[in-house]
Amino acid sequence: MKKRTSTLSIPCLTKNAMTVLERRYLRRDVDGNTLETPAHMFRRVANSIAAADQVFDEKANIVNLSEQFYDMMTALEFLPNSPTLMNAGRELGQLSACFVLPVGDSMEEIFDAVKFTALIHKSGGGTGFSFSRLRPANDVVMTTTGISSGPISFMRVFDVATETIKQGGTRRGANMGILRVDHPDIMDFIMCKADKSQLNNFNISVGLTEGFMSAVENDENYELINPRNGQAAGTQNARKVFNRIIVQAWENGEPGIIFLDRLNRDNPTPHVGMIESTNPCGEQPLLPYESCNLGSINLGKMVKDGAINWKRLKEVIPLAVHFLDNVVEVNKYPLPQIAQMTFGNRKIGLGVMGWADMLIMLGIPYDSEEAVGLAQQTMKFIKDQGHAASRELARKRGAFPNFKNSLYDKRGEPPIRNATVTTIAPTGTISIIANASSGVEPIFAVSYIRQVMDDDILVEVHPYFEKTAKEKGFFTPELMQRIAEHGSLQDMDEIPPDIRTLFVTAHDISPEVHIGMQAAFQKYTDNAVSKTVNFANGATVDDVAKVYRLAYQSDCKGVTIYRDGSRDKQVLSTGKSEETTSPGGVDGERKVVKRERPKVLKGWTYQMQTGCGPLYVTVNQDETGLFELFTTMGKAGGCAASQSEAIGRMVSLAWRSGIQARQVIKQLQGISCHCPSGFGENKILSCADAVAKAIQSHMAANGFGSVHKKVALARGACPDCGGIVEHEGGCAVCRLCGYSECA
């Protein structure tokens, strides 16, 4: 066992990685003070996961195994999913990211699922549901002689419950909602997120069948089925429904599509149950009450001297499989049903991140046939080695309990420890920790602008591009700024053509290339591949239709698309604005749409003692965040009252236009007048200072870490740091601070 001089620091962690770890992963005390370093976190995780070996062998050398796990993680060669990093070795102990819960067609079953959802979100997991068992709206309810309100109304109940729960204080709730295409309410489901204020804690996908896709190709009608009795409930024209899905996806990126028959074609345990749903980002099909823990190998760390280091990759794969199987063992499951189902199949999901980094290091353009061929070769190697490692574990520990009559058993294959081994997940925040490109996505931007406090502008540059630009002698801060403003290298003549070809971004690549890469990885992935197909803002509905059909023809298991700006009220910060977002603006101006005031708002009033007398500050908020502020002076009037009213009006306008509360506080706090009030922490310097302190009190009392998260995300900027938001796998992630819309 190698000796190490220090376990207090990990030199390869970047500043962004440290920010993410400190804000979201490291253990804290009740006052929010950090209690561990990243090295301590990895040691905690390694020790906890290695300890599972003693379940199978009392004489197991868990010290040596822990050291191997620690070295693999601190070298950033492999990282498990976020709940494992956060919770392993801690009291909560819930280590899985993915869960699927059944939703039955009765009030008892529906609200049991709501309760179970709350418990899972509290423990740090995300949930997937199929609402296809629920009878349609306006259907008969025999027990009350009333009528059903339908699946969408109950989805809103789950959405509200999710909004209420803070995931273990570190992760917000995320859901996947799926409805079969043959459900009578399918058209309403397709449109359920057209109102962007609804169901914001859900990704939605339509569950398509082979029969439906055949009807689309032949422009035929297909039958709708009432799940209450299994009887026909009318017909729909398949092409009309398919086109409605496409138009809505073009509008705002949802719904995605899931090919249900393909999920069940590859379901390893059909004798246990049918797959109805996936986790929130769509890559992990699961049976009802099943969970899965994921982890990703950093392919950027598997390159040596300009070639793939197959030897090291072959060493890391079995170690990662061993790690993930141990996670199944030590996990503290939120429900006994989930523990039973998970132990029965022992599914794990080993995937990758840093794929785009690997290609750049090898000098292979992402949008080349060579890259697609290498994707198949690499994933086949991972799958073959992963299955071999799982079979070796089965030899020592036994096959997963439901192995008999599984697909493996029926094909006469040797026993295997895990019913599934490979999954390609969106790696979100763990790829920030690893300083790697996300999943199998291309790089999102070569250079981009980050707006921070006080409106300071920082230019962030992709590290490999910066290194290359300096080596080739064309690096200048001014050029990096222009690239960030331009958004692409492709028509910048001062950059060598071979560099422009190599550093293609998500928006440089055609949708067909995105699908081709997804299909290449899917061919050798047990579960599914999380991948976002990026479209330019000017893409047409026909472009989206072509990709949806291509995903089906390429044997993908689902597809998620995002048309640039389709959810934004302001363009992303990787290029100059090309269109106005509010009526009447000058072309190219960056306009912000002011939120309309609803008829009813909830609020709190705070009494602040100023030198002019008591100031009553009322803060109102809507479902998005802080909305407006009113002030009332006690018995004083004149200048103090009018100035306070003016402050309230300007603060309200700022909030309704998307300005964050901390920016308002920064502008008002500390302003002094001739007549301060109070002493020490209670000292109020002026009416403006009183307003700032009232806002601070309100935020502290109502759990606002930062406000206007939904508005900021809609505008394409991170609500926490002002950085760029990337759309990946049905989620939005900031690679600067780790903020994630769905996990």
Q: Are 216 and 209 in contact (CB under 8 A)?
A: no
Cβ neighbors of 266 (< 8 A, separation 6 or more) are 407, 526, 527, 557
DSSP code for 386: H
Rounded CA-CA distance 259/555 in Å is: 9
Q: Report the distance separating Cα 81 and Cα 126, nearest Å.
A: 12
As given in the structure block, the two tokens for residue 154 are 């109950």
Q: Is cis: bond before 255, omega within 30 of 0?
A: yes
Among 741, 74, 38, 119, CA closest to 426: 741
For 415, phi then psi, to 5°, come to -55, 145
Known catalytic residues?
279, 281, 283
What's the rounded Cα separation, in Å, for the pair 235 and 233? Answer: 7
For 125, the 3-state DSSP assignment is: coil
Of 73, 69, 21, 26, the residue nearest 47 (C-alpha): 69
Q: How many residues does the chain have?
A: 743
Rg of the chain taking only CA atoms, in angstroms: 27
Burial of 23 (0-12, 13-18, 19+ CB in 10 A): middle
SS3 104: coil
Phi/psi region, residue 299 (left: phi>0; alpha: psi -120 to 50; beta: rest), is alpha
Q: Is residue 174 a contact partner of residue 280, using CB atoms and an 8 Å limit?
A: yes
Q: Which of 355, 358, 350 is nearest to 308 (CA)?
A: 358
Q: Which amino acid is at 448?
A: Y
Q: Is residue 374 a contact partner of residue 459, using CB atoms and an 8 Å limit?
A: no
Helix (H, G, I), strand (E, B) or coil at 179: strand
If one counts every other C-beta atom within 10 angstroms of the C-beta of residue 528, the result is: 29
CA-to-CA distance for 52 and 43, rounded, in angstroms? 15
C-alpha to C-alpha distance for 278 and 742, rounded to whole angstroms: 14
